[in-house]
Structure 1
Amino acid sequence: MALHAEAALLLLGLLLGFLGLWGLCRAPASTPAQAQSWPPGPRPLPFLGNLHLLDMRQLDRSLMELAECYGPVFTVHLGVQKTVVLTGFEAVRAALVGTGQELADRPPIPIFQFIQGGRGIFFSSGARWRVARQFTIRTLHGLGVGRAPTAHKVLAELEWLVAELDNYRGQPFPLPMLGWAPSNITFALLFGQRFDYRDPLFVSLLGLIDEVMVLLGSPSLQMFNIFPRLGALLQLHQPVLRKIEKVRAILVTLLEARRRHVLAGGTVQGYVDALILQDQREETPGPFSEADMVACILDMVMAGTETTSATLQWAALLMGRYPSVQGRAQAELDRVLGLRQPGPADQAALPYTNAVLHEVQRYITLLPHVPRQAAAPIHLGTYLLPQGTPVIPLLTSVLLDKTKWETPDHFNPGHFLDTKGQFVKRPAFLPFSAGRRVCVGESLARIELFLLFASLLQRFHLQPPPGVHADTLDSTPAPAFTMRPRAQALCAVPRKR
């Protein structure tokens, strides 16, 4: 499988190189009028565009380097697709918050068109997206997300995770294990029940999600999205589609089980139950058809497990790497809480712990960019872009903006503290994006991460395995759709309090 993928990529590269050279010889020069209709940017090669200037493994960093030359709003050619890139807090926030519905659409990303067909919550657009999003927000609120009921579920799940960590008795455990609790919280919210960590369905689903995320971030899938016809010819999308079908089969099985519960008169216990009830109310197939329901569930499963799980793993890894930061947070937790479990209301009384968690989210830039598309002609700065223009609001450039953060490239909880040690909100803290497309699970993620992180620090010293120095813990992201940490081991040594 790996050799086949490498051969396909090599063939793709050679073919694109030939087409680029051939087109360069035949292409007419652009006229000044054409150049002035878009923001500035590097001159593209025919067919290849600006791919020769970009490192697809770190696309966000490559785009930030181009911004140094062309400014915060510039044009880049991803193959033949002209795309506008926004960098820095001012440009990104103005576009996300100040444009309303004009920049609320998603471009038709080829791989997600294959997977979801324009359905779901995250990669849909227009009326279908608005209906699905409004339903999801309303349902999550009704299930108690962001309020006491959710906090109780999070703390209950924490005990299962603590029991697993206790089994290691301070010896090295695999870092991805910390993702079990956030994933199960998501599953409980969706399906109305938690799963045992050894349940084959739970293990299989987490394994498939992991494989899908790695494949979505692979160079072959990025090339497929840029050159979909050529990528389809080389079958670059087939490995991830096969994994997605396995995920979808599991979700359909769970959906049918919940359908039997709801049709038997059972109470609504999760998001899927609410979807089924909504479907029953539709007199004709509408936005909550079977395919739409599965698409919404797939989006919630993939996003709800990956993002929070990866962030908690990063938080633990960075505590192992920066023991002095961990020690100061633990001293604050001991002073304020003692042996009492943390609650949502404790965030205000734990400014340093809160600052550490915010800095983790800023520093890791978990989801560097998800593109938007102009739903109508739109003004961005002094430029008028036509309807259908893809736009990349580069969140990495906001979270690392040199004009907004004192030490943007360093892990520094002081970014969120004033001179008196009190927590301060920073406008440039946008890990969940902003505006009409802000993450629907933001309130859940915030409270979930705070309770899990604070509770783990209360109970354990998180440190490198024996013989490993803190400085050598690997903090370079693993190649995947999100900037997740590389799989490695930590020790959770019980604290004596």
Structure 2
Amino acid sequence: MDLLSTAILLLLLALTYLVLNPSLRAKGKLPPGPRPLPVLGNLLQLRTQDMLTSLTKLSKEYGSVYTVHLGPRRVVVLSGYQAVKEALVDQGEEFSGRGDYPVFFNFTKGNGIAFSNGERWKALRRFSVQILRNFGMGKRSIEERILEEGNFLLAELRKTEGDPFDPTFVLSRSVSNIICSVLFGSRFDYDDERLLTIISLINDNFKIMSSPWGEMYNVFPSLLDWVPGPHRRLFRNYNRMKDLIACSVRDHQASFDPSSPRDFIDCFLTKIAQEKQDPLSHFYMDTLLMTTHNLLFGGTETVGTTLRHAFLMLMKYPEVQARVQEEIDQVVGRTRLPALEDRPAMPYTDAVIHEVQRFADVIPMNLPHRVVRDTAFRGFLLPKGTDVITLLNTVHQDPSQFLTPQKFNPEHFLDANKRFKKSPAFMPFSAGRRLCLGESLARMELFLYLTAILQNFSLQPLGAPEDIDLTPLSSGLGNLPRPFQLSLRAR
């Protein structure tokens, strides 16, 4: 038998083995999807300038679970409430890994609470949850900080005196001060250079990540590392932010008293000191810097962006704004700021805030998940390490869960008796094991900020309400609202 015949025979034997061996056959039993090309994957079927829309359209062709190749990277995509819920909630442990996301990973290197995996992630999450609770997360003490900061924000808004202005920066400064007070131990004055730099860096990076450049970097990071463009600014911004945090850590170390921790950084420094002899410890300086960065980024951008979406929606639908103000006047009046204890008596306001979050869909594709072991899911077998994208936009627009999913409609969160009702398909903070660490803080901030603003001001568009465009400026990591100005009329 010649060499060619031997090679053909061995190839046939190998193929027969693969076909007949059930364990190996199951190992490759991935959901169907479009046929990929070498290197490019399915990029010809995807619009990199609008990846979200492309992935959503593919789900209509291939179903609620399908496989797609983003360049050389294979991912499984989940669409619709039922599929996402089965993965993140019903099989939460299996889907608890964090998938590749180069715009973050190439900075964090898998460190920090948001982008770590395995035992490191579990240790950092347990520690962070406990420390944040100790400093008031979800408690009355953090509510008092938000109310205090709300007064500073109202004072800034009064300075506009009815003139048109862009609310982006003033909202971001106020929201960021809440998480800054937890992380660094104190708020910043609104003209403090450190706060202004933090806001500028976070806003710029969120905009780049949500742009086509950010999407392309996630697909071809090694290539784009050599290509000029705004994505190069991402990592300069990251490093500037890291330097700012490191400077604050050094200030903490100079006045550090382990018996009296003042904030999150002090508690982390204490943990580092306690475990400094353990070579396997997950608590060291770089972990502190990355975790602080993750919390600062998440605690600043998402709430500020949601509030800007809310302003646009309330101006486009002035009857909704008027009804919220009427409920505030009836329940709270004008002599004090709204408080969390008022929320149960304000079902319409609560429904509007939930509908803003559903309709805005600030993080529409979620951060990627990863299966941590070989996982059976809906008749398929996802091998350990498979990255999974959960399309939260399809959850929030699922017609089986919302009567008019394409429309802004607060009635989605009201029952027949006009009482507030929860929806299991409400997932703006993700779901399951990777649920956003700051969910309770964000929910408090949205209610307290929005009600305080509407108690004191009416939001006035510069043009006709019906001309307001609610479609996002870009949809990558985030759904960014289009730039706008408004004026405030004192009530």
**1:212 is aligned to 2:208:** no
| Deviation by residue 1:279-321 (Cα, 9 ceiling, x = unmatched) | 1212325211111100001101111100111111211221111
Letter in 1 for 2:433: R
- Aligned position for 2:378: 381
- Aligned position for 1:456: 453
- Structure 1 stretch displaced more, 251-260 or 278-287: 278-287
Letter in 1 for 2:348: Y
C-alpha contact 2:173 2:195 (8 A) present in aligned 1: no
**1:358 is aligned to 2:351:** no
Out of 179, 182, 187, the position equivalent to 1:194 is 187
C-alpha contact 1:165 1:173 (8 A) present in aligned 2: no
- Aligned position for 1:135: 127
C-alpha contact 2:112 2:124 (8 A) present in aligned 1: yes
- Aligned position for 2:250: 256
- Aligned position for 2:148: 156
List alignment gaps of at least 5 residues for structure 1.
Answer: 1-30
Question: 3-state DSSP class of the match of 1:252?
Answer: helix
Out of 171, 175, 185, the position equivalent to 1:178 is 171
List alignment gaps of at least 5 residues for structure 2.
Answer: 1-17, 20-24
**1:84 is aligned to 2:76:** yes
| Map 1:240-279 → 2, pairs under 5 A | 240-263=234-257, 267-279=260-272
Question: 3-state DSSP class of the match of 1:173?
Answer: coil
Distance 1:258 1:450 in 2: 33
**1:42 is aligned to 2:38:** no
Q: CA deviation at 1:426?
A: 0.6
Measured on the aligned residues, the alpha-carbon RMSD in Å equals 1.9
Out of 380, 401, 404, the position equivalent to 2:401 is 404
- Aligned position for 1:169: 161
Compared CA separation, residues 35 and 56, structure 1 to 2 (3 A): farther
Letter in 1 for 2:393: T
C-alpha contact 1:171 1:493 (8 A) present in aligned 2: no
Letter in 2 for 1:390: D
> What number of residue pairs does the alignment pair up?
462
- Aligned position for 1:302: 297
Q: CA deviation at 1:180?
A: 2.0
Q: CA deviation at 1:210?
A: 1.2
Q: CA deviation at 1:225?
A: 2.2
Distance 2:441 2:227 in 1: 40
- Aligned position for 2:9: none
Question: 3-state DSSP class of the match of 1:101?
Answer: coil
Identity of aligned residues (%): 38
C-alpha contact 1:311 1:366 (8 A) present in aligned 2: yes
Out of 439, 444, 467, the position equivalent to 2:441 is 444
- Aligned position for 1:7: none
Distance 1:311 1:267 in 2: 36
- Aligned position for 1:334: 329
Larger radius of gyration: 2
C-alpha contact 2:100 2:387 (8 A) present in aligned 1: no
- Structure 1 stretch displaced more, 31-40 or 367-376: 31-40
The two structures have a TM-score, normalised by structure 2, of 0.90
Distance 1:490 1:151 in 2: 28
Distance 1:36 1:116 in 2: 31
- Aligned position for 1:97: 89
Compared CA separation, residues 205 and 103, structure 1 to 2 (3 A): same
Letter in 2 for 1:475: L
Deviating 4+ runs (over 6 angstroms): 31-36
| Deviation by residue 1:342-380 (Cα, 9 ceiling, x = unmatched) | 111211100000000000000011101211111110011
Distance 1:401 1:58 in 2: 20
| Map 1:447-486 → 2, pairs under 5 A | 447-465=444-462, 468-479=463-474, 481-486=477-482
Question: 3-state DSSP class of the match of 2:111?
Answer: coil
Q: CA deviation at 1:203?
A: 0.9
Q: CA deviation at 1:219?
A: 2.3
Out of 51, 58, 73, the position equivalent to 1:59 is 51
C-alpha contact 1:262 1:277 (8 A) present in aligned 2: no
Distance 1:441 1:432 in 2: 9
Distance 1:223 1:34 in 2: 32
- Aligned position for 2:282: 287
Distance 2:262 2:98 in 1: 31
- Aligned position for 1:320: 315
- Aligned position for 1:145: 137
C-alpha contact 2:172 2:199 (8 A) present in aligned 1: no
Q: CA deviation at 1:469?
A: 1.0
Q: CA deviation at 1:101?
A: 2.3
Distance 2:47 2:320 in 1: 33
Distance 2:473 2:247 in 1: 31
Out of 395, 403, 423, the position equivalent to 2:420 is 423
Distance 2:40 2:54 in 1: 16
| Deviation by residue 1:65-106 (Cα, 9 ceiling, x = unmatched) | 111111111111111222111000000000001223221111
